[in-house]
A and B are shown apart, each in its own frame.
Chain A
């Protein structure tokens, strides 16, 4: 089944403790992206990647890191999480040509206390 898989689905952590949210897609998509969803703010892009080793900042990149060492994986790293990073996070992927619409993962609900 074609899908984007995120792990974990739920995570509660403490301020300052480094964490990684994994994202993997099995559709051979070139594009991958991370979004956060907050009430009243919609979906905001954190980072995106056009292909392996090519990443760029979205609208809200502060406090996050990403890497794209393999085409299928695009982990989101929070080096020192803070409470304002409590949010619902989505990974998404798409082709670079033809169909541009995203396939989204199921989401990761992160709480930083």
Chain B
């Protein structure tokens, strides 16, 4: 089955700096890679996703890159703000199938 590894498990950055979270996956059939943000006491919320036919996707301060050959994808947050502090999860799946595998999460702390 699919295995998703996520690094680092914790990350502290100064406000205004960039943050990068990396994930690797094992199943070359996976073609859909979402990222979720979980704030304290809440359920995860989808913030950005990427499909295997695209190498990069941006949405304001957030970007995701995908390297299919190396089987890794990354989340980039620029100009971090205190409200970016949360736990971030990556995931991998095959579109049209419900089997979704998550990484263990990265706790991001943005220091004002």
Contact = CB atoms under 8 A, between A and B. Distances in A.
A18 B68 CA distance: 45
A58 B99 contact: yes
A42 B59 CA distance: 25
Contact of A90 (B44, B49, B96): B44
A42 B98 contact: no
B20 interface: no
B100 A33 contact: yes
Main secondary structure of the interface of A (DSSP, over half): strand
B42 A107 contact: yes
Interface of A: 4, 31, 33, 35, 40-45, 48-50, 56, 58-59, 90, 92, 96-97, 100-107
A45 to B, nearest CB: 6
A49 B98 contact: yes
A42 B43 contact: no
Given A42-B89, A97-B96, 15 more contacts: A4-B43, A33-B100, A43-B44, A48-B99, A90-B44, A100-B93, A100-B95, A101-B49, A102-B36, A104-B36, A104-B44, A104-B45, A105-B43, A106-B43, A107-B43
A96 B49 CA distance: 15
Nearest to B104: A42
B93 to A, nearest CB: 7
Contacts of B43: 4, 90, 92, 104-107
B45 A100 contact: no
Nearest to B48: A101
Contacts of B45: 104
B98 A56 contact: yes
A104 to B, nearest CB: 3
A48 B101 CA distance: 12
A102 B49 CA distance: 11
Contact of B98 (A31, A44, A106, A107): A31
B44 A100 contact: no
Interface string B87-109: 00100010110111111110000
Nearest to A31: B98
Contacts of A43: 44, 89, 102, 105
